[in-house]
Amino acid sequence: MIVLDTQGIVLKVVKYKDRDLILTIFTRKYGRVSAIAKGAKGQKSRFLSASQLFSYNNYSLRKQKDMFTVYQADNIKSFYNISMDFESFSYASFIVKLVEENIVEGQPNNRLFELLAQTLFLYSEKIENKMLVLDAFLLKFVDYMGYRPQVDRCPICGNKNLKYAVFSIEDGGLVCNNCYHKEKFYIKLDQTTISLMQYILNNDIIVCSKARVAGVLVRELFSLLKRYLVNYFESVSFKSLGLLKTLK
């Protein structure tokens, strides 16, 4: 029997049989883990709070045959307030789905785990610029997954003079004037958006959430990040955020 003791964040909850739930958990020590929480659907279940979407918990998991079972669980933070705000819930749901689809079992990513916990904390609080937090998460996500965009030097030649640089998704960053090719597709970014990207990559997301950024820059960065993620991550889809856009 394998026993795992670890902190974890619930990314997905699926009903199983009459009273059980199958949890997809992002664990600090072991990456993605699926586990059955027996009886968790009951209102008096000792696993009730630790089986909620977004919740951050201490787990003791036991593996028998091919499946883990939740043996013990203690809630650290429920992030319950996320469900009370539609915008926060929409962004948080998109984020946990993105993480769930791109992490694997047996491969921990502590920086991403901390980032997710901090992001859920922010969405459970009354923050003003929720879309800026989404931008910050996405930019840090691609960094921690190994696809950090180069925004301080040309990814082709290393040139730090980026005064006339344009962004290349294919090359993964800001391409300097010397490496520019007419036949390639480039995105022209506002210089302040470039500075925002540099700021996000070099600062904690809690710090980033407090920055005052014009909405037009937040939207420009989001548009870039959508294209960037679609290029580097096969399963990513932004359709779930479509309703939120129409309501705004």
Domains of the chain: which residue ranges? 2-78, 81-247
What is the Cα–Cα distance from 113 to 78, expressed in whole angstroms?
16
3-state secondary structure of 223: helix
- The number of beta carbons lying within 10 Å of the beta carbon of residue 104 is 8
Each residue's pLDDT tens digit, 49-85: 999 999 999 999 999 888 899 999 999 999 999 999 9
Cα 117 to its chain centre, rounded Å, is 9
Check if 2-78 and 81-247 are the same fold: no
Task: Compute the average pLDDT of residues 114-139.
Answer: 97
The class of domain 2-78 in CATH terms is mainly beta
Closest CA to 98 of 73, 79, 115, 77: 115
Per CATH, domain 81-247 is 3.40.640.10: no
> Which one has a higher pLDDT value, 234 or 232?
232
Contact 79, 116 (CB under 8 A): no
pTM over 0.85: yes
3-state secondary structure of 72: strand
